[in-house]
Amino acid sequence: MAAESATVIPRGQVDLLDFIDFSGVECLNQSPSHSLSNAIKQGYREDDGLNLESDADEQLLIYVPFNQVVKLHSIAIKGPEEEGPKTVKLFSNKEHMGFSNVNDYPPSDTIVLSPDTLKGKPVVLKYVKFQNVRSLTIFIEDNQSDSEITKVHKIALFGTTVETTDMKSLKKIEDH
């Protein structure tokens, strides 16, 4: 499946960074000196000198819980042309996944990143599969050059909170 890139974030979508529950974020197979914080936290993820790196092999398994229910619209992953992620499987609301069972579940969506989308272009997801997301598991299966180390400069998630969406709908109804 080829990744469909959005050139701009659609109106009404926001960076979901503020809704991530950082106390529950986990990353399996991350290099101790190049952790997930480098790719996901504000300030760090804008610095191309910092990155998340895989440790034992090219795969990374990232668990991102949210502090409220969100609707996920798109994901932007920035990485180097050679070691940047290629096949990325996304799982909505699947907790306690490990490398031993990640292939036991069908992904909510699979994206294949090209060197062009690795420049940080948002990739639109199957929106119907990401309507009531409490957590997102990101499985980076391989990288562009099939090398042993995968590097990620930035991961950004775009969408809306369910509460915000509902409140706007209610206000519009009241106005009429």
Over 50: is that where the pLDDT of 5 sits? no
DSSP state of 154: E
**What average pLDDT does the segment 1-18 reach?**
67
SS3 139: strand
Coil, helix or strand for 59?
coil
Residue type, position 41, single letter: K
Q: What is the pLDDT of residues 132-149, one digit of tens each?
A: 999 999 999 999 999 999
Question: Tokens 């994901």 identify what position?
Answer: 75
pLDDT tens, position by position, 82-126? 999 999 999 999 998 999 999 999 999 999 999 999 999 999 999
Q: Is the pLDDT of residue 151 over 60?
A: yes
Length of the chain: 176
* Residue 30, both tokens: 């991350």
Q: Where are the alpha helices (DSSP H) in 24-90?
A: 37-40
Mean pLDDT of 159-173: 62
For range 36-60, the mean pLDDT: 93
pLDDT at 33 over 50: yes
Does the predicted TM-score (pTM) go above 0.85? Answer: yes
At residue 2 the predicted structure's pLDDT band, cuts being 50, 70 and 90, is very low
Local confidence band at 9 (pLDDT 50, 70, 90 cut-offs)? low
Tokens of residue 40, six digits: 């996901």
